[in-house]
Amino acid sequence: MARKETIEIRAPRELDRFNDPIGPESDWVAVPGATVVPRNSSEQDQRGTVIIAGFMVVVPSVIAVSERHEIRLRGEVHQIDGDVGDYGRRKIFYTIRAK
């Protein structure tokens, strides 16, 4: 069920020449009024059934978010799964649990 809630977004850290993160982690930025929809699916792979659990998130287009940002939803840290869709007035992205 979709509902509006406050999520937090953290910008990605800089990467060195080996693509390892360097420097301090940035602060979490609260984004009130984001629409959050739970998603669960399963896909068949060579390894067998792969279960995907996460959220679909809709935020206003003025929010800076990319595929490398971290999202904190309901007390858990998630990473963005795939590309961020920019549809003019809103951005839509999918998350999967990271930690």
Say what the pLDDT of residue 99 is. Answer: 62
Domain ranges of the chain: 3-97
Structural Rg of the chain based on CA atoms: 15
Nearest to 85 by CA among 63, 77, 32, 72: 63
Cα distance between residue 32 and residue 29, in whole Å: 10
Domain boundaries 3-97, corresponding CATH code: 2.40.10.370
> Whole-model pTM above 0.75?
yes
φ and ψ at 87, to 5 degrees?
Answer: -110, 40
DSSP type of residue 16: -
* Tens digits of residue pLDDT in 65-90: 999 999 999 999 999 999 999 999 99
Q: How far is CA 28 from CA 5, 46, 58, 70, 83, in A?
A: 15, 38, 18, 9, 21
